[in-house]
Structure 1
Amino acid sequence: MMIPSTKLILIACLSCLIYSTTAQKIKQCMCSDIAPCKQKFSESVNVCIDQCKSHASKLGADYGVLRQCFASKEHMIKATIQCEDAKLAGSCARVPGNMVNKRFEETLKLAAMSEMSNILQSSGVLNQVKPLMGTGKKFYGCVSKCMKIKSGNCQEKLKCGLDLPTDTVLVQQTKQCAIQSGFNTGVVRELCNCAVKAGVRQLAGVCDKIVIQ
């Protein structure tokens, strides 16, 4: 399914990192401090997706079948995460004392939704997929909240931030990492058609029009 699959990648790559730029400055996270947080977030992704399965069920999907659609591409998801981690390797501090702009997760979410809308618009299917986007937002919110709880609110307790590019650049980086890891037009169409077979009938007639570029 196009929207949840894209969000799964974004959540896995960025949830432990993201806040959007304001004038307020906070201390930069030490790499040694943020590493355990990233590990906790990574470990909680699948657990939280399962915990939020009711949102998929509301679309008429057989969650077990739908989950298998994405489980078959888990190696690509992991490759995407590794790619994004490499691009952001310099975002944490090796020595204390640096300050960075405070970031907020909400604006990253808006940037991600904007990019997804652009993909769907350019593919000519935005109006057909729009009814699913509300469920997609609720799914993202559910998973994000769950991951924060599972991590023990790690990022909030550290009270620090990372030296990150803009939200738009982050989204584009993640998109390019996903494409490089194999999430091309053919694979995304395959996932979408798999979701249709799992019961997400709203995507019928949409999948073979999607273009990733």
Structure 2
Amino acid sequence: FQMRVLVFFSLLVAFTSAVEMQKQCLCSDLNPCIASVPKAIEDCGEKCKAHVTELGADYPAVRKCVLDQQDDIQKAVDCVRAAFGDEVCASKPGQEIPRRFAETMQLAATREMNEGLKKSHLVDEAVPLINHAKKAMGCWIKCGQSHSCAKKLDCGVKLPSDNEIIKVVKKCAIDAGFNTKRAKEICECLAHAGIKQLTPMCPKIIVS
């Protein structure tokens, strides 16, 4: 669920492989585009669902596990947007910012996932799922890139470092209610939806 919030912001950023400056998106252009992001997130879920079904899951059931949390996911998204403030976009033309890298965002997210597994003492048990999780994460971020508002508008948004983004997303997710108890409930929902590999892991999850 932190990943869904993270993807929201991936959808705003045009990631490229070149180190160069680019114009900052105007708020007057960016804000209307943001309204289309929830639909794009659903599209990314459909596009990346193979990474879920490969584990034996029933995708509609998995999707319901996610949609049942939609209100709190939106709270987390709103929290992150508020944390980044009004400087994400420019009020007038002429501002420039550095381009961003999809790979560094994915690395930061992977590090956070690994830290969470260590805290829950689930590293060994999670090994069979880690590759799937990494592939799914890559799929979501690439999908976010393809739907990016900034890419459509040929501009960029001003965000903190990738590690800071992950930190803010995590805090906002917890503040929105995605604590240890909720994480266990979601894990159990996903296990019942067919991801049986999660069953022994759910009781051990710790969110901190």
**TM-score under structure 2 normalisation?**
0.89
AA in 1 matched with 2:40: S
Distance in structure 2 (CA, Å) of the matches to 1:180 and 1:43 = 24
Contact 2:20 2:99 in 1 (8 A): yes
Counterpart residue number, 2:151: 156
Paired residue for 2:109, among 82, 94, 112? 112
Q: Displacement, 1:161?
A: 1.6
The aligned residue for residue 191 of structure 1 is: 186
How many residue pairs match? The answer is: 207
Q: Summarize deviations over 1:18-62 as a string: whole Å, max 9, x none.
A: 649986322211111222332222221113212322221110111
Bigger shift: residues 97-106 or 137-146: 137-146
Residues 1:61 and 1:23: Cα distance change in structure 2 (over 3 Å): closer
Deviation of the 1:110 alpha carbon = 0.8
Question: How big is each residue's C-alpha offset from its partner over 1:98-142, in whole Å with a ceiling of 9 and x where there is no partner?
Answer: 221221122111101111110111110022113212222322333
Measured at CA, do residues 125 and 111 of structure 1 come closer, stay the same or move farther in structure 2, by a change above 3 Å?
A: same
Note the residue ranges of structure 1 that are not aligned, 5 or more in a row: none
Whole-angstrom distance in 2 between the partners of 1:28 and 1:190? 41
Three-state SS of the structure 2 residue aligned to 1:88 is: helix
CA separation in 2, counterparts of 1:36 and 1:141?
27
Q: Secondary structure at the match of 2:22?
A: strand
Inter-partner Cα distance in structure 1 for 2:173 and 2:29:
27
CA gap 1:19/1:48 in 2 versus in 1, 3 angstroms: closer
1:44-101 CA-partner distances (Å, limit 9, x unpaired):
1113212322221110111122221111111111111111111223211111222212
Of all paired residues, the percent bearing the same amino acid is: 35
Partner residue in 2 for 1:129: 126
d(CA) in 1 for partners of 2:184, 2:103: 28
Matches within 5 A, 1:164-175: 164-175=159-170
Give the RMSD, CA atoms, in angstroms.
2.3
- From 181, 199, 212, the counterpart of 2:176: 181
Residue 212 of structure 1 is matched in structure 2 by 207
| 1:141 to 2:143 alignment | no
Q: Secondary structure at the match of 1:100?
A: strand
Unaligned residue ranges in structure 2 (runs of 5+): none
TM-score, normalised by the number of residues in structure 1: 0.87
Q: CA deviation at 1:148?
A: 4.7
